[in-house]
Amino acid sequence: MNFGEASAVTPGEEGVWKAEVQPDWDIFGVSNGGYLMAIGARAMSGSSQDRRPVSLTAHFLRPLSAGPVEVAVDTLKTGRTFSTMRATIGAASDSVALLGSFADPGALDAEDLYVGARPPDLPPPDECPRAIPSPDGPLPPPIVGQFEERIHPEDAGPLQGRPSGVARMRGWFRLDHEEPIDAFTLLLVADAFPPAVFNADLPLAWTPTLEMTTQVRAVPAGGWLRCQFTTRFVSGGLLEEDGEIWDVSGRLVALSRQLALVPR
C-alpha cells in the first residue's frame, strides 16, 4: 500500500471523513504524527474544493493506533484564495486537533523573490546509510520501511549509539516506486526522520510531540528531497525541532517546527 492509499479519506456525513490508519506507520505502536496530519489534511482539502495545505498546525492529544478513524472538519472561512478550517481526528475520542489554512495553488505567485539560505550539503544518496526497520527492537521503527530515507553519514551515529553532539539530522527522502510527492506527503516528510535531538549527547528517551506546524511553499519537482532538521533549545522542559525540506531543483518546498516534551 503506497502513501496515497495509506492516507486516503472517503467522505461520510456532512463535514466528516473516514480513514483507516494503517499499521506499520508507527513508532512504538503510536501512529506517526506527520502521517496523521496528512490524513487530516486530505479531509480538510476535500472540504475546501481540493485546496492545498499552506500552514497546518496539529496538537497531539492522545496516541492513536492503527484502525478506522473519523476526521471532522469545520470550515471557519472560505475566502477567494484561502480556506481556514479546524479538524479533529479520532476513534473513540479525539486524538489530534488541527487548525490550518489551505489555498488555491493557482492564486499564489510561484516566484522566488528572496532566498536567504541554502539547501543542506549532503553526499549522494548511495553514500548515505539507509534507515531500515529493526526486526528485533523498537528502533528504527516500522514507519521507516514505508519510504526510502538516507541519513547523512555525519548524523547517522545515533543509529549505532554514537551521537554527533550536534542536534541535527540531515538526509534524503523519497517514496517507493517513484510515487510522486505532493503537498500532503510533505506533511509526512517533516516528521519522518529520526529526531535531531538524538544527536545531542543527552540521556533522552521518547519525546512526545505536543504540537507541530508545517508550512508548504511549493509542490516539489520530482526526485529526492533534501531535508534538514535541527534542535537548538532543550529547555523549559521542551524542545523544538525545525525542519527544512528542499527539492532536487534546490528550491525550499516546506518549513516545519514541532515542539516536544522532554520527560522529567
Give the footprint of a copy of itself on residues 103-132 (CB under 8 A).
107-117
Residue 257 in the binding site for a copy of itself (CB under 8 A): yes
Which C-beta is closer to a copy of itself: that of 81 or that of 134?
81
Half-sphere exposure of 234 (CA within 13 A, CB side): 19
The DSSP letter of residue 130 is B
Binding-residue total with a copy of itself (CB under 8 A):
60
Give how far Cα 5 sits from Cα of 35, 38, 56, 239, Å: 12, 11, 21, 32
DSSP 6-60: HT-EEE-STTEEEEEEPTTSEETTEEPHHHHHHHHHHHHHHTTTT-EEEEEEEEE
Question: Is the distance from CB of 88 to CB of 71 less than 8 angstroms?
Answer: yes
Residue 77 in the binding site for a copy of itself (CB under 8 A): yes
Q: In the structure grid, which three cell numbers stand for residue 184, read together? A: 500532503
Residue 232 in the binding site for a copy of itself (CB under 8 A): yes
- C-alpha to C-alpha distance for 235 and 240, rounded to whole angstroms: 9
For a copy of itself, which stretch binds (CB under 8 A), given 25-33, 122-130, 143-151, 224-232? 224-232
Which C-beta is closer to a copy of itself: that of 33 or that of 141?
33
Residue 54 in the binding site for a copy of itself (CB under 8 A): yes
- CB 98 → a copy of itself: shortest distance, Å? 8
At a CB cut-off of 8 Å and minimum separation 6, what does 209 contact? 33, 60, 191, 258, 259, 260, 261
Which C-beta is closer to a copy of itself: that of 82 or that of 147?
82
For a copy of itself, which stretch binds (CB under 8 A), given 11-19, 43-51, 101-109, 139-147? 101-109
For a copy of itself, which stretch binds (CB under 8 A), given 17-25, 141-149, 154-162, 214-222? 214-222
Residue 16 in the binding site for a copy of itself (CB under 8 A): no
For a copy of itself, which stretch binds (CB under 8 A), given 11-19, 51-59, 119-127, 132-140? 51-59
- CB 71 → a copy of itself: shortest distance, Å? 15
